[in-house]
Amino acid sequence: MVTSNGVLATARSQDDGSRLPQPLKRTYALYLESDEESDNDGPPQDIEDILTMINCHYPAMGFWQYVEVLKEHGIKYLPTAAHFGERFYEEKIGMPEGAAFTFHSYVCQAHAKEERAKARRKVKGKKKAQPQSEDGGKENTPPCF
């Protein structure tokens, strides 16, 4: 027997006499974030990776010459590099004004992009973990904005 909404009311019999189970009326999937995932989905970007990317865009500025000086000052990863301003790169690292501006701008943009991606992953994980609530038979209707 089939109801008006197409759901089987009783088990169907196949030609061979076996009975199929009655389908569930409602099913829900719940995604839980695993313990392996965290807010830091991998190590921060290494300063050498940053210098490689900048050097690809601005090869004439010779950013590779600063790799050792940056590391000596403890700047080994993107978040640390984004913390310092242009003046620091001019005075302590020895970059010319234009190179310091370019380096600082690129580092800040890359860090902001990484933070936005991290925030999106965090929000996406929270949305997946929220179970669907019963709303009086309107489970397949899109939300109104």
Task: Kindly report, residue by residue over 25-39, the tens digit of the pLDDT.
Answer: 665 555 444 444 444
Print burial letters for 35-66: b (CB count within 10 Å at least 16), e (below 16): eeeeeeeeebbebeebbeebeeeeeebebeeb
Task: Please tell me the predicted confidence (pLDDT) of residue 86.
Answer: 96
Report, as ranges of residue numbers, the positions in the chain whose pLDDT lies below 70: 1-18, 23-44, 126-145
3-state secondary structure of 124: helix
Return the pLDDT at 19. Answer: 74
The model's pTM: 0.57
Q: Give the pLDDT of residue 123.
A: 84
